[in-house]
Structure 1
Amino acid sequence: MNTVGIIGAMDLEIRLLKDKMSLSKKESIAGFNYYLGRIQGKDVVIACCSVGKVNAASCTQILIDKFNIDCIINTGIAGSLHNEVKICDVVISKNVTYHDVTKNQMKNFFPFKEYFEGDKKLIELAIKACEKYKLDNWNYHIGRIVSGERFISDSKMKKSIIEEYSPYCVEMEGAAIGHVAYINNVPFVVIRGISDNADDEAYTNYDIFEKISAEHSANIVLNMMKII
């Protein structure tokens, strides 16, 4: 594998990775920052896409077009939508989809997919990285991650999303990144540290746990770079 693309929505989510990389160049394209360098001897391009699906999709397409990457790892934080997924746990994407786009639209219009599958080799690599980094106070899970254009902090909406999609967690970028990766035939995986339970207390818990959860996810990516 020649060059790994790594995307985070916020600087908080890529800060640890930037600190650990040997930076050779920074480029700004269409308002997005791309950091070129090496981590653990591997060529990487780290991108900050900002929040939301359109930003994530735009940043991902530029990453693919301009930097000749071989795969994409999306790192960041999310809200739990599964009873077994606790705050500070990690979710690895089995697949990704949108919770605010109908299944009929996904299925009947290009690219005719209800969800986008994470790459099996990258999932296996993420699992190995979790096992290497794992501490006793958190667990990792492999499951569906859903994305949409809002921070979920409403228990009724949370229940509705769970009933419709049976996801493990919810965030705002992963499905768009997976979507663009799929139509470009680029392998991807989404990794999310859990900062909150996507319920009525979500904002309070997010403020407390966002940094810890972001660093859990980033540390898994760092370990992936060691064993890739």
Structure 2
Amino acid sequence: MLIGIIGAMEQEIKLLTKSMEITETKTIGMRDYYTGKLFGKDAVLVFSKCGKVAAASAVTCLIEVFKVDLVIFTGVAGGADRALNIGDIVIADRLVQHDMDASMLPGCKKFEIPLLGVDIFKADSRLTALGAKSAMHYVSHYMAEDVSQEALTEFRITTPKVVVGTVASGDQFIADSSKVRSLTEEIPDLKCIEMEGAAVAQVCYEHGIDYIVFRVISDKADEHASINFPLFIEKTASHFTRGIVRQFISEID
């Protein structure tokens, strides 16, 4: 099995890159694709850059050029569920493009992708369950030794929750509590908001490729969303990403 791994920000995959035994680097479409062994498994790793188009471009290349069998998309997100705090982990079982609205077209509802007839992309339940198990294993066994106590204290992280639910994607960095409330009213079981996951899900759906999307909550997607955002990724989320991916791919057949 060849696993494709994507992060939208360089810091999100920096530790994965360091952990990888890279045998080849190919530059395609202004992105570097690293091929090699990651925690003993064949993998291709890429920093996609931000937004739905960038993510779709990267995942299409992973599928069409590198012929990956599974796609992992990881990174941070803004929390939509008020019960979630910084450091909590969301595994996507459903993904929706919250900025897609062609409802003025006959027979097309809000969030539906025109001509595809799909508004919600559903992840494979087996992979989702394994993702949640992997995240809980990391939190229970490795987080405390992997992330400095100083960083955990700074971001008020004790024992992160791991939840499964809906992830909404759109080409907006949302820092508006009223927008979050509006989206939670329209999208059932919405856990977090980000900028790439549902685009990755659509491409994988159209190609018949399995995928998993997991996100670490970095903020509440409100007016304070940008505060310490880069620092959180550097000190905390990048470690979560590496640890969860390591556990997840170790259990993939």
TM over 0.5: yes
Does 2:253 match 1:223?
no
Q: Which residue of 2 aligns with 1:20?
A: 19
Q: Kindly indicate whether the alpha-carbon contact (under 8 Å) linking 2:98 and 2:111 is maintained by their aligned counterparts in 1.
A: no
Which one is further off, 197-206 or 106-115?
106-115
The Cα of 1:105 is off from its aligned counterpart by 5.5
Match of residue 114, structure 2, among 91, 104, 109: 109
The Cα of 1:215 is off from its aligned counterpart by 2.5
Q: Distance in 1 between matches of 2:95 and 2:224?
A: 25
Which one is further off, 3-12 or 109-118?
109-118
Match of residue 196, structure 1, among 211, 219, 223: 219
Does 2:208 match 1:185?
yes
Q: Distance in 2 between matches of 1:165 and 1:217?
A: 26
Q: Distance in 1 between matches of 2:223 and 2:240?
A: 24
Q: Please say which structure displays the higher CA radius of gyration.
A: 2
Q: Distance in 1 between matches of 2:2 and 2:166?
A: 26
Q: What letter corresponds to residue 32 of structure 1 in structure 2? A: R
Q: Kindly indicate whether the alpha-carbon contact (under 8 Å) linking 2:79 and 2:193 is maintained by their aligned counterparts in 1.
A: yes
CA deviations 1:128-177 (Å, max 9, x no partner) are 21232114521111000001111110111111111111310000000100
Secondary structure class of the residue paired with 2:247: helix
Matches within 5 A, 1:1-228: 2-102=1-101, 104=109, 106-107=111-112, 109-135=114-140, 137-166=159-188, 167-211=190-234, 212-228=236-252
Q: Kindly indicate whether the alpha-carbon contact (under 8 Å) linking 1:95 and 1:118 is maintained by their aligned counterparts in 2.
A: yes
Q: Distance in 2 between matches of 1:58 and 1:207?
A: 24
The Cα of 1:16 is off from its aligned counterpart by 1.2
The Cα of 1:205 is off from its aligned counterpart by 4.5
Secondary structure class of the residue paired with 2:198: helix
Q: Distance in 2 between matches of 1:148 and 1:218?
A: 25
Secondary structure class of the residue paired with 2:82: coil
Secondary structure class of the residue paired with 1:138: coil
1:40–1:210 CA distance, 2 compared to 1 (3 A): closer
Which one is further off, 213-222 or 27-36?
213-222
Q: How many residues align?
A: 227
Q: TM-score if structure 2 supplies the norm length?
A: 0.85
Q: What letter corresponds to residue 48 of structure 1 in structure 2? A: F
Q: What letter corresponds to residue 14 of structure 2 in structure 1? A: R
Which one is further off, 49-58 or 127-136?
127-136
1:176–1:108 CA distance, 2 compared to 1 (3 A): closer
Q: What letter corresponds to residue 134 of structure 1 in structure 2? A: V
The Cα of 1:108 is off from its aligned counterpart by 6.6
Q: Kindly indicate whether the alpha-carbon contact (under 8 Å) linking 1:98 and 1:146 is maintained by their aligned counterparts in 2.
A: yes
The Cα of 1:106 is off from its aligned counterpart by 4.5
Q: Kindly indicate whether the alpha-carbon contact (under 8 Å) linking 2:46 and 2:58 is maintained by their aligned counterparts in 1.
A: yes
Stretches of structure 2 that go unaligned for 5 or more consecutive residues are 104-108, 141-157
Aligned residues: CA RMSD: 1.5
Q: Kindly indicate whether the alpha-carbon contact (under 8 Å) linking 2:14 and 2:238 is maintained by their aligned counterparts in 1.
A: no
